[in-house]
Structure 1
Amino acid sequence: MLLRKLIVVSGLILLPVYAAAQELEEIIVTHPLKEGGLAQASTELSGTELENALAASIGETLANEAGIRSASFGTAVGRPVIHGLGSTRVKVTQDGLDTMDVSVTSADHAVTVEPFIAEQISVLKGSSTLLFGSGAIGGVVDVATGRHKTKLPEVHSGRVELRYSDVDEGITTAARLDGPISDELAYHLDAFYRDSDDYQIPGFAESRLFRLAEEVEHHDEEGEHDEHHEEEGEEEEQFGVLEGSRNQSSGAALGVSWLGERHHASVAFSGLQGEYGLVGGHGHAEEGDEEHDEEEHAEELAEEGVGIIDMQQFRVDIRAGYQLSNALFEEIDFLLAINDYEHQEVEPDGAVGTDFDNQAWEARLQLHHASLVSFEGLAGIQLNDRQFSALGEEAFIAPTDVRSAAAFWLGQSDTRLGQIELGVRLEDTDTNPVSDAAQQSRSFTTVSASAGLIVDVNEAFRVSGLLDHSSRAPAIEELYSNGPHLATQTFDIGDASLKEESANNISLSFGFDNQRLRAGLTLYYSDFDDFIYAAASGDQDDGLPVFIYRQDDARFKGIDFEVDVVLAELAGGELEAGLTFDIVDAELTGVSGNTNLPRIPADRVGINLAWANQDWSISTRYTQVSSQSGVADFELPSDSYDDVSLRIQRNVELASGELLLFAHAKNLTDDEQRHHVLFVKDVAPAPGRSFELGIRYAF
C-alpha cells in the first residue's frame, strides 16, 4: 500500500513536466534499451519472415523459433511457451501492454491478439519482469499492430490477404490500411475473419498410451457392465477428425494518431469475437435432428455434443509522448489500455456452464533521462486494475479483484569493457476475493533486479551475459481455484497461503553475423525458490482427477542454437541452409521421489533449406522432436515425431503494388504429432497432412 501511495504522488509530480514537454523521439515499447543492444536473448519476426510464419494463433506463429513452443487447445488456442515456462510466467502484450484476456486462467482460453494484423512480433526470452511485471518471469511476447503512429505516413498503404487450408476447410482473410489524413493526423484500419471446421488427424484422437491405460482400467472393472462400457467407448472413439477443433473468429480496429514535431498522441479502438470448440474429454450427445440451417453456430456445435467458448472483447488503447527540453530528462511517454472481455463456456446441450468476465486497465508512465552517473535510461511507474469473475454452476474460481502498482528503473552505460545494463523493479499486488468470505485476501511485494553486459568482440561477433533476480505474485487461479473445470477435465484446488515465487537466472549469449553466416547460441540457467505448479494428486473428485497447486524449489536449464549460412549464388538467387535445436531440462529440487515437472518440452532439432530470387522462393524444413519420457506423476510419456514442410512463393510486381501467390504444405509425412507442452496432448494431436493456398496484395 505504501508503494501505491508513493506512485500516486510521483505521478502528480510528473504531470506538470509532462504538460511542459516540447519534442518527440520514437520509443520502442518492447524494451526501451533495444536500440543500443540487449543483453537478454530475444527474437523478432517482421516482414517476409513474419508473413511466412503466420498461423491461427500467436503460439503457432512462433512455434518454430528456437526455445519457443505452442501450448495449443485446438487451432484457436496457442499460448507461447518459452524455455519450458508458459501460462502465468509468459506475458503476451499488444503494443506494449497486457492483452488482459483470461488465457492464463486455463489451458482452453485463447489469447486475444491476432497474428494476421501484426506488423512485428518481438520475443524476450527469459525473465522480463523489470518493465512488464511479475507475470513476465519467463518472458514476453509483444505484438506491434501499427495502430499507433509516431511518424506521419507519406502515402496511403495497405495489404489484403486470403488463404485456404484443406485440412480443416479453413478460410482466413485479413486486411489493413494506413495513411495520412492531414499534415498532423494519420489513420489505421485493420480487420480479419477466420472460419475453419474440425481438422483432420492421422489416426485416433487418443494416444496409444492413453488408449492402453483405458483398456487396463476397463479390465480392472467387474462383470458385464465393464464389457458394455468398453464396447461403448470403442464406438465413441474419435478417428480421422478431431472433434471440437473448429474455430470461427473476427475482429476489426481503428486507430487515429495526432503527430507533430514535439508530440504524438493516438487512440485505437479494437473489437474481437470468436466461437471455438473445446477439444478432448467432452461428452457425445445423442444424434438429433440434422436441420440446423437456421440455427446459430453455437447451437450446431451443441447438437454435435461439443462444448464451445463464445468470446467477445472490446479494447481502447491510448498513447502519448513528448520530448522534453530539460537537460536531464529527454522524453516522457504514457501508455494506457482499457479492456472489456467476456466469454461463455457453453455445454453440449446449449446451457452456459460458466460465464467469465474480465474488466481491466493497465497504465504505464515512462520518463527517459540523459546520462546520470554515466547511465542513460528510464524510470517509470505502472498501475494495473483487474476485476475478474467466473460465474455459473461450473465456476471453479471465486470472483476476485486484483490491483498492482510498480516503480522501475532501467539504464545502460557504454564502458571500455562493453555496454552495461542495470535495472530494478518494486511491485505491490493485492488480491481480494469479493464474493467468498471464506477465501483469504492476500498482498504481495515482489522485487526484481538485473545486471547485463554486451561485448562487441568485432563487427561480426557479439557476446552478452545477464544476471537477474526476479519474482512474481501467485495468480488468482493458483490461489483460489476450488472445483471441477470441465473444459480441461480436472478438479483444481488452489492454495490461498502460497508465497511469492522467485528465481535467480543467468544467461550467456553468443551472436555472429557476417552477412553470409548468421549464428546464435544461448545458454541459460534458472534456480527457482517456491516454484508454483499444479500437481496431480492421484485422487478423484466428481469423477475428475484432482490437481493441487503447491510450491517446491525447481531448476531450469537449456540451450538454444540457430545458424543460417548462404551456400551459393544460384540461378539469380541465394541458396541458404539452416540448423536449429533447443533443449530444456527442468526438475524439482529438494524433494524426494519423482522430480520431473509436467509438460516440459522434448528436445528438438530442425534443418531447413531455402532458395530465393526476386520472383520465386522455395523452402523446405525438416523437424525432429524427440520422445519425452521424463514425466511427472500421473503424466504419460510422449512419442517422438517428424515434421516435413514445403513452401513455394511467386512474387509478381504490378504497377499498383505487389502480388504474392503462395502454397504451403505441412506435415507431409502425415505423422502423428503430440506436443508434450499441451495439457490435452493425449486426446488432441496436431493436424495431419495439410495444404494451404494463399494470395496477398500489398501497395
Structure 2
Amino acid sequence: MRFAKAFSPVPMACVSVCTLLNITGTNAAVQAKTGSALHIEEVEVVGHPLSAEGLAQASAVLSGEQLSRSLQASIGATVANIPGVHSASFGQAVGRPVLHGLGGARVRVMEDRIDTLDVSVTSADHATAIEPFIADRVEILKGASTLLYGSGAIGGVVDVHTGRIPHELPEKTLTGRAEARADDSAETRVGALRLDGGAGSFAWHLDGFWRDADNYEIPNFVESAQLRALEEAEGEEHEEEEARGELPGSELEVNGGAFGLSYIGERGFVGFSVSQLDAEYGLPGAHGHGHEHEEEEPGMEEHEEEEGNPTLDMEQTRIDLEAGVENPFAGFSSLNVRVGINDYEHAEIEPSGEVGTLFENEAWEARVELMHKSVGGWEGAVGLQYSDREFSALGEEAFLSPVDTESIGLFWVGERDIADWHIETGLRVETVEHRPSDSGLADTDFTNVSGSLGAIIPLTSDWTLSLQSDYSSRAPVSEELYSNGAHLAAGTFEIGDASLDEETAFNLSATLRYAGSNWYLAGTLYRTDFSDFIYRFNTGLEEDELPVLRYTQEDAVFTGFEAEAKAIVHQWGDGQLSVKAMFDTVTAELDISGNDNLPRIPPTRYGLGLAANWGVVNASLDYTRVDEQDDVAELELPTDAYDDVRAYVGAQFPLEQTTLTVFLQGRNLTDEEQRNHVSFIKDFAPAPGRTLEAGLRFTF
C-alpha cells in the first residue's frame, strides 16, 4: 500500500493544529435535552452548527440504548428502521443508507463529519469502511445537505460519531464498555471494547472490535419466485434454482480498532486518532450475475459449489486530526479544524483465488468552520471544505481508469429569529475537477451552487411547523463519467458518459410536529424536482454474459411522506407501557415517455410497536409491513410484500462501579422470505430468516 503519499497534507494540518494549540480552550460538550416522560430524546444534531434551536430539515438521531438495539453488520442495516431510511444491501456485509429514495453518490456517509473516504459509492458490492459498533451516536439529515458537506450530500447525510478524538477531559480516570454478541442464523460472533480515560491535561481513547459470521440461513429459495418463473419461461436452467436454506457468499470477517489522544486547554482542544479496519466478505448472487465458468472440467462441479462466489478483501488505515477553540478572534465564538487522511485498498478475488481487480483510494479531506457572532441579527458559520482523492482500479477486470478528483467549497449558514419564527438560510459555492490518467479520456470541471431557506414556526406550545426549501447541484462522480468495462464482482458491464452535466435539484418539504407530555407525533411531506438526474439503466444488452448498464440523465421527480408517533398508554410504579407507529412512502418518476419508473425505489411500509420497562427490565415488540413493489423500471422484476416481526428483552444489573446489561432479541421471528427491493441483488439474495441474538454488555 502506498501510504507515504497519503501523508502529503499532514504538514498543512499540523500547522493549523499547532497554531490552535497556543489558544486552545475547553470545548463545552453539547448536552442532549431530555424530553418528557416518553423518553423521546429531542437531541441536537451536534454535527450541524445550527442545531441548537432545532433544524427545519427532517433529521433523526440514534444513540444510547436505541442504537445498541439497532446495531448490525452495516451502517445501512443499523439505521434502516428509521422512517424515510432504507439500506442498499449486498449480502450482510454491505449496506449503504438510502434516504428518501436516494442513495449511492447522493448520500454522504461520514465518520465524525469527514467522509468515509472509501470506494463504497463506486459499486453496490463495496462496503462502507465504518464499523457500527464503535458509534456513540448516528445522526441523519434527510434531504439536501449540500451547504455543509458538498455535492455528495444532495440526498442527505449519515454521520457516525465515534468520540475517538476526545473534546474534553473525562469526569473519571477510566470509563468504558465491553460487549459480546452471538446469533444463530449465521453463527455470528461479535466482540467490542471501548476505553476512555485521562490524566492531567490529556484525554485518550482506545477501541477494538471483531466480527465473524458464516453464511446466513434463509427460509426458502435463494432465487426469488419471479426470477425462477422468468427462467422457466425462457427455458433457462441454473444449479442454484433449487438452492435453499442458506445464502452462499454471505460470510464475513471484520476486525479493527483505534487509538486517540487529545490535549485539553482552558479554551479548547487539539487531538488525533489512528484507526485500522480489515474486512473480508463474500459476494452473494455470483451465479446469477454471470460468474459461472464457460467450460467445466469433469469433477469440478462440487468444487465450484464450494467456491462459487467471489470475495472482497478490504484494508483501511485512517488518521484523523481535530482542533477546536472558543472565541478565537473578535466577532467569532468558535473555530474548528477537522482533517481526515485515508489509505484504502480492496481486492476482489474470484472463486479460483485469483485477484480480478485491485481498488486503491488515497484520499484526504479537511474542513474549517468559524462560528460568528450576531451580524445584523444573523448568527452562523462560515467554512471551507477541501478534498483530494486518488482512485485506481487495476487488473484485467478493472472497469474504471485511475482518476484524481479534487474539490473545494466555501459556505455560509446562518440563523435568526423574526418574531416567533426561527429562520435558517445558507449558500455554498463548490468546484469539482476530475483528472483521468488515461490520455484518451477528457478532464472534466464543474462549478456547483447551492442555497437553502427554512423556517420553524411555533403554532402552539406543543405544535410546530417546519418549512424547508433547497436548491442543490451535484457534480457527476468519476464512476458515472468514465466507467467502461466488466465489474464481475457486481455482475455488471458498466458504461459511463464523460459528457454528463451537473445534476440540480429543487426540494420543498414541510414537517409538522407535536411534542406533549405523553404524545409525540411528526410527519414530513417532501417533493424534489431534479434536472438532469443521473442514473444507470439496463440497456437489455449483454457483454460477456453480463447485463450492460449505461449512465445517462433525464429530469425526475421524487415525492414522499413519512410519519411516526409515540405515546405512553399506561404507567405504574417504576414502569410504563408505550406504543408507537410509523409510515413511509416514496415515488420516483423520470420525465420520459413509456415506463418512467426508476429502479430500486423503496416500497411503502408501515409498522406498529409496543415497548415496556419495569425496573431493570426493558422489552419491545415491533411489527413492520413492507408492501409489494410493482412500480418497477424496465427489465426490473417486482418484489413481493412481506412482514417483519422483531422482539427485544433485556435487563440491567447495577454492580460495583459497573452496569451489566443482558439481552435477547429476535428478527424476522415468523421466518418469512424477505427481499429488499432497494438491493441490487434482491432476486439472488433474500434477507436472513429467523434470527435470535443474545449478548451482554458491561458499562463502567
Relative to the length of structure 2, the TM-score reads: 0.92
SS at match of 1:50: helix
Asked if 1:179 is matched to 2:197, the reply is yes
Aligned partner of 2:280 in structure 1 is: 275
CA contact (8 A) 1:284 1:306 kept: no
Aligned partner of 1:588 in structure 2 is: 590
Query: CA offset at residue 613 of structure 1?
Result: 2.0
Which structure 2 segments of 5+ residues have no match?
1-11, 31-44
Asked if 1:139 is matched to 2:160, the reply is no
Residues matched between the structures, number = 666
Q: What does residue range 8-407 of structure 1 map to in structure 2 within 5 Å?
A: 21=23, 23-26=25-28, 30-155=47-172, 156-180=174-198, 182-218=199-235, 230=237, 233-234=238-239, 237-282=242-287, 283=291, 304-324=307-327, 326-407=329-410
SS at match of 2:234: helix
CA contact (8 A) 2:217 2:247 kept: yes
> Could you tell me which amino acid in structure 1 is paired with residue 119 of structure 2?
V
SS at match of 1:342: strand
Aligned partner of 1:541 in structure 2 is: 543
The separation in 2 between residues aligned to 1:17 and 1:269, in whole angstroms, is: 21
The separation in 2 between residues aligned to 1:681 and 1:288, in whole angstroms, is: 32
The more displaced of 141-150 and 234-243 is 234-243
Query: CA offset at residue 289 of structure 1?
Result: 11
Encode CA deviations 1:426-464: one digit per residue, 9 max, x unaligned.
000000101x11111100000000011012334322211
Query: CA offset at residue 175 of structure 1?
Result: 1.0
* Cα gap change, 1:440 to 1:658, in 2 (>3 Å): same
Query: CA offset at residue 479 of structure 1?
Result: 0.4
* Cα gap change, 1:22 to 1:399, in 2 (>3 Å): closer
Encode CA deviations 1:37-72: one digit per residue, 9 max, x unaligned.
111000001111111111111111101100000111
The separation in 2 between residues aligned to 1:577 and 1:22, in whole angstroms, is: 47
Asked if 1:479 is matched to 2:481, the reply is yes
The more displaced of 520-529 and 567-576 is 567-576
Query: CA offset at residue 572 of structure 1?
Result: 3.4
The separation in 2 between residues aligned to 1:16 and 1:51, in whole angstroms, is: 37
The more displaced of 567-576 and 332-341 is 567-576
The separation in 1 between residues aligned to 2:298 and 2:669, in whole angstroms, is: 37
The separation in 2 between residues aligned to 1:668 and 1:287, in whole angstroms, is: 43
Query: CA offset at residue 305 of structure 1?
Result: 2.2
The separation in 2 between residues aligned to 1:326 and 1:669, in whole angstroms, is: 60
SS at match of 1:55: coil
The separation in 1 between residues aligned to 2:22 and 2:159, in whole angstroms, is: 31
Aligned partner of 1:516 in structure 2 is: 518
SS at match of 2:229: helix
CA contact (8 A) 2:222 2:241 kept: no
SS at match of 1:396: coil
Query: CA offset at residue 17 of structure 1?
Result: 9.0
Asked if 1:567 is matched to 2:569, the reply is yes
Encode CA deviations 1:218-266: one digit per residue, 9 max, x unaligned.
27xxxxxxxxxx3xx2466421110000010001000001101112011
Aligned partner of 2:8 in structure 1 is: none
SS at match of 1:218: coil
* Cα gap change, 1:501 to 1:21, in 2 (>3 Å): same
Query: CA offset at residue 669 of structure 1?
Result: 1.0
Aligned partner of 2:633 in structure 1 is: 632
* Cα gap change, 1:20 to 1:36, in 2 (>3 Å): farther
Query: CA offset at residue 571 of structure 1?
Result: 6.3
The separation in 2 between residues aligned to 1:656 and 1:113, in whole angstroms, is: 31
Aligned partner of 1:427 in structure 2 is: 430
Aligned partner of 2:446 in structure 1 is: 444
* Cα gap change, 1:565 to 1:287, in 2 (>3 Å): farther
The separation in 1 between residues aligned to 2:260 and 2:18, in whole angstroms, is: 27
SS at match of 2:274: strand
> Could you tell me which amino acid in structure 1 is paired with residue 189 of structure 2?
I
The separation in 2 between residues aligned to 1:120 and 1:111, in whole angstroms, is: 17
The more displaced of 303-312 and 623-632 is 303-312
> Could you tell me which amino acid in structure 2 is paired with residue 160 of structure 1?
A
> Could you tell me which amino acid in structure 1 is paired with residue 563 of structure 2?
F
CA contact (8 A) 2:17 2:270 kept: no
The separation in 1 between residues aligned to 2:259 and 2:497, in whole angstroms, is: 42
Aligned partner of 1:293 in structure 2 is: none
The separation in 1 between residues aligned to 2:395 and 2:468, in whole angstroms, is: 46
* Cα gap change, 1:190 to 1:515, in 2 (>3 Å): farther
The separation in 1 between residues aligned to 2:270 and 2:13, in whole angstroms, is: 19
The separation in 1 between residues aligned to 2:670 and 2:308, in whole angstroms, is: 31
* Cα gap change, 1:288 to 1:149, in 2 (>3 Å): farther
> Could you tell me which amino acid in structure 1 is paired with residue 567 of structure 2?
V
Query: CA offset at residue 326 of structure 1?
Result: 3.6
Query: CA offset at residue 327 of structure 1?
Result: 3.6
CA contact (8 A) 1:23 1:323 kept: yes
The separation in 1 between residues aligned to 2:13 and 2:191, in whole angstroms, is: 43
The separation in 2 between residues aligned to 1:11 and 1:144, in whole angstroms, is: 21
The separation in 2 between residues aligned to 1:324 and 1:302, in whole angstroms, is: 64
Encode CA deviations 1:409-435: one digit per residue, 9 max, x unaligned.
00111220411111000000000101x
The separation in 2 between residues aligned to 1:687 and 1:349, in whole angstroms, is: 27
User: Which residue among 452, 459, 462 is the counterpart of 2:464?
Assistant: 462
* Cα gap change, 1:642 to 1:588, in 2 (>3 Å): same
Encode CA deviations 1:511-559: one digit per residue, 9 max, x unaligned.
1112311111111110000000001111111111111100000000111
The separation in 2 between residues aligned to 1:37 and 1:616, in whole angstroms, is: 32
The separation in 2 between residues aligned to 1:624 and 1:651, in whole angstroms, is: 31
Encode CA deviations 1:319-344: one digit per residue, 9 max, x unaligned.
00112264412221100000000000
The separation in 2 between residues aligned to 1:189 and 1:284, in whole angstroms, is: 44
Aligned partner of 2:557 in structure 1 is: 555
SS at match of 2:78: helix
> Could you tell me which amino acid in structure 1 is paired with residue 517 of structure 2?
Q
Aligned partner of 1:411 in structure 2 is: 414
> Could you tell me which amino acid in structure 2 is paired with residue 280 of structure 1?
G
> Could you tell me which amino acid in structure 2 is paired with residue 406 of structure 1?
G
Query: CA offset at residue 22 of structure 1?
Result: 6.1
Query: CA offset at residue 379 of structure 1?
Result: 0.5
Relative to the length of structure 1, the TM-score reads: 0.92
The separation in 2 between residues aligned to 1:97 and 1:439, in whole angstroms, is: 30
Which structure 1 segments of 5+ residues have no match?
1-9, 220-229, 291-299
The more displaced of 414-423 and 350-359 is 414-423
The separation in 1 between residues aligned to 2:297 and 2:134, in whole angstroms, is: 39
Query: CA offset at residue 287 of structure 1?
Result: 11
Asked if 1:690 is matched to 2:694, the reply is no
CA contact (8 A) 1:23 1:324 kept: no
What is the identity percentage for the equivalent residue pairs of Structure 1 and Structure 2?
48
The separation in 1 between residues aligned to 2:25 and 2:426, in whole angstroms, is: 26
Query: CA offset at residue 148 of structure 1?
Result: 1.7
* Cα gap change, 1:160 to 1:301, in 2 (>3 Å): farther
Aligned partner of 2:38 in structure 1 is: none
SS at match of 1:464: strand
* Cα gap change, 1:522 to 1:206, in 2 (>3 Å): same
